[in-house]
Amino acid sequence: MNTTEIKAVYDRIKANSESFLGYPVAKDFSYSDYAPFLDICINNVGDPESPSTFAIDTKDIERQCIAFFAEMLSSSMKDVWGYVTNGGTEGNLYALYLARESFPNAMVYYSESTHYSVKKNLHLLNIPNIVIRSQDNGEMDYEDLEQTVALRRDKPAIFFLNIGTTMTEAVDKISEIKRIIKKYAIKDYFIHCDAAFLGTIAPYIDPKPKFDFAEGIDSIAISGHKFMGSPIPCGAVLVKRKHRDRIANSVSYVGTMDTTITGSRNGLTPLFIWDFIQKHGHEGLKDRVKASQEIAAYTEHKLNGLGIKAWRNNEGLTVVLPKPSERICKKYQLASQDDIAHIICIPGITFKQIDAFLEDLKTELFEIPTEFEAVIA
């Protein structure tokens, strides 16, 4: 590929990046300082806490990232273990794998609003599962869950919870899960939280949703590229150490412990996460959440002002609205499902971009037909 072709590809991607509003991918980052690392194959092979005979890695940086997340999620490295993944899907797959190894005969319960990749993960792991209805806002229907669990109270249960559903940012309530566990005296259970988007947001919301290790969960998956920002999809999975220890084994070929999904792992993405943590920290994330909430509130208010029934869950960053035309959806890359679409007010989206979208929508909604069109109609 020559220079002209490379520039054409870059220009296309850059233009598409500037116009999209419908997906949770932060846009306000630059990691150009790390360009020299692109000339090295960095491989965090095996367990991040175990050295390897292959030493071209960033495991020391990776451990710092996991320690930050552990603190953010009300725990510490003493009680939890984790690693940097290639995104939320891998994090969920790993957690479900550990849950299956803990309770081989368990049933998985997850809502119909769960991310599409989870069904694939369950198929790969061959775990029995039941889909639970969702409420109108995307939250799990606890009455349906309770009735379903009651019929299988003799089986171990794996509860797969959404801490921010894909379309509406709904949060499944751990308190309801605990109530059902207690009511039916379920002794063997595993609680996993898919917090891909909200994992780095919810800890800084007031009042803070109850979803982390302080609430008794067993594992959690979060994304790094969605709210923090990264040029490469990435994330982290954190689990109670007792679950990780159950599957650990040593591999002589690379001289390290094998505890992750893949053998070779990306050693570049921990640098991006670490860089963000060093620059922003907990206070920076808190400010970031507040700024994004202001954009979301503005978007919701302006849409309602146009007579469009837009809404958000829990002062979230996801503004749900009736699905606009195909032209609007394509231009702004709006994700849609059935008759709804959403705008996700992630860092990098500006008031100016929202105003441009609103003007486009207003023109389409209130466009006055020409004299010719009126006659034809």
Q: Is the pLDDT reported for residue 376 higher than 60?
A: no
Query: For 343-365, what is the mean pLDDT?
Result: 95
Alpha helices in 220-264, H assignment, sequence order: 241-247
pTM: 0.93
Identify any residues that bridge with 318 across adjacent strands, giving them in sequence order.
Answer: 344
Identify any residues that bridge with 222 across adjacent strands, giving them in sequence order.
Answer: 236
Q: What is the pLDDT of residues 188-230, one digit of tens each?
A: 999 999 999 999 999 999 889 999 999 999 999 999 999 999 9
How many Å is the Cα radius of gyration of the chain?
22
Q: What is the pLDDT of residues 298-319, one digit of tens each?
A: 999 999 999 999 999 999 999 9
Give the 3-state secondary structure percentages of the chain, helix then strand then coil, rounded to 5. 45, 15, 40
Residue 373: its pLDDT value, please? 45
Residue 254: its pLDDT value, please? 57
Q: What is the pLDDT of residues 54-66, one digit of tens each?
A: 999 999 999 999 9
| Prior bond of 203 cis (ω within 30°) | no
How far is it, in rounded angstroms, from Cα 194 to Cα 116?
A: 12
Identify any residues that bridge with 221 across adjacent strands, giving them in sequence order.
Answer: 194, 237
How far is it, in rounded angstroms, from Cα 332 to Cα 173?
A: 32
How far is it, in rounded angstroms, from Cα 340 to Cα 138?
A: 12
- State the amino acid at position 345 in one-letter form: C
Residue 369: its pLDDT value, please? 53
Given CATH 3.40.50.720, say whether it is the number of domain 3-28+282-371.
Answer: no
Q: Is the pLDDT reported for residue 160 higher than 70?
A: yes
Q: Is the pLDDT reported for residue 251 higher than 70?
A: no
Identify any residues that bridge with 266 across adjacent strands, giving them in sequence order.
Answer: 43
Break the chain into its structural domains and give their ranges: 3-28+282-371, 32-278
Average pLDDT value for the chain: 93
Given CATH 3.40.640.10, say whether it is the number of domain 32-278.
Answer: yes
Contacts of 110 (CB under 8 A, 6+ apart): 118, 129, 131, 132, 159, 160, 161, 162
